[in-house]
Amino acid sequence: MRAGIALGSNVGDRLAHLFAAYQKLSAISTPNEPILCASIYESEPMDCPPDSPLFLNTVIEIDFDKSVSFLLENTQRIERELGRKQKTIRNAPREIDCDILYLGQESILTDSLTLPHPRIFERRFVLEPLAEICPDLVLPHASISMKAAFDQLRDDSPRVRAVASGFSALQSPAS
């Protein structure tokens, strides 16, 4: 199955955090299958405490042949390994955020995970990069593609600005 994962960082070396998460997620993806990576966007914090720094965001899509619980455990492990602290304030600034957006056509509702992610269509910083790499994707319980959803996004939603063309163009964050 294909798994979409949103990556975000607004603390420290944001690009290095995104790149490290990308590398770690690449390591758990199905070997020899393509990994899609959107451009990297800078965005205003949304629903965050006042004076939160700007985010860098991207979306990747990997091939994944294990359980959704394994994927969730690994995204949470990656967050911890890259320095994310236990939440004390809702949406506090963070080194890395790895949100599973979808896993194939799975529809999941548990205390720890909802798939597809319930706020994909509300967040330009997720929808724009997702529409870039998977424009024709239609998620379970949705009636339109990612591209169509992006085209219908309200004009008053916070803007994003592309800052890099994605990790395929980078050898390392320092280059």
Provide the CATH number for the domain around residue 157.
Answer: 3.30.70.560
Please list the alpha-helical segments (H only) found in 14-145: 14-28, 68-81, 124-133
| CA gap 93, 26 in Å, rounded | 25
Q: Could you tell me if residue 47 is inside a domain? A: yes
pLDDT attached to residue 173: 43
Rounded to whole angstroms, how far apart are CA atoms 156 and 175?
35
Give catalytic status of residue 159 as yes or no: no
pTM summary value: 0.91
**pLDDT of res. 168:** 57
Would 174 be classed as within a structural domain? no
The Cα 131–Cα 173 span in angstroms is: 24
38 contacts 7 by C-beta, under 8 angstroms: no
Asked if 151 is an active-site residue, the reply is: no
**How confident is the chain (175 residues) per 10-residue block, as mean pLDDT?**
96 95 96 94 87 93 95 95 79 88 95 94 94 96 95 77 68 42
What pLDDT is attached to residue 143? 93
The boundaries of the domain holding residue 156 are: 2-165
Interatomic CA distance for residues 55 and 42, integer angstroms: 5
Distance from C-alpha of 66 to C-alpha of 80, rounded to nearest angstrom: 21
Is residue 171 a part of any domain in this protein?
no
Number of domains in the chain: 1
Q: Is 47 designated active site?
A: no
Domain-located, residue 173: no
pLDDT reported for residue 174: 43
Let me know if 65 is a catalytic residue: no
Of the residues 2, 97, 123, 124, which is catalytic? 97
Residue 131 lies in a domain: yes
d(CA 77, CA 71): 10
Examine residue 172 and state whether it is found in any structural domain, yes or no. no
Q: Do the domain assignments include residue 170? A: no
Q: Is residue 175 part of a domain?
A: no
